[in-house]
Amino acid sequence: MADLEVHVIAPERRLWRGKATSVVAPAAMGEIGILPKHEPVLALMRAGTVRVHPTKGDKLEFPIDDGLLSVDGDVVMILVHTRQATPAAR
């Protein structure tokens, strides 16, 4: 099975980059789940938690205030505004 290449970026720095099996994000109109081979999408995000399931290691959670999510091929770009500088591992 293919993996996603995920980039989580805040204005001040990159928060995380790596391979993942899935991403769940708080889109403006409700949660959106991203798996490999997802159709291209551009979505505004609302306050909530971005959850990344890395191919290795524990699930990561990024509390965000808002942001933008882009999917193109198996590349997921998540641009966020957040007050918390590091992800919480679950």
C-alpha–C-alpha distance, residues 75 and 2, integer Å: 11
Q: Which domains does the chain have, with CATH numbers?
A: 4-89 (2.60.15.10)
Supply the pLDDT for residue 82. 79
Supply the pLDDT for residue 16. 96
Residue-wise pLDDT tens digits, 27-36: 999 999 999 9
Per the CB < 8 A criterion, the answer to whether 79 and 68 are in contact is: yes
Strand segments (E) across the chain: 4-10, 13-27, 30-34, 41-45, 48-54, 60-64, 66-72, 75-81, 88-89
**Of residues 90 and 43, more confidently modeled:** 43
Does the reported pTM lie above 0.85? yes
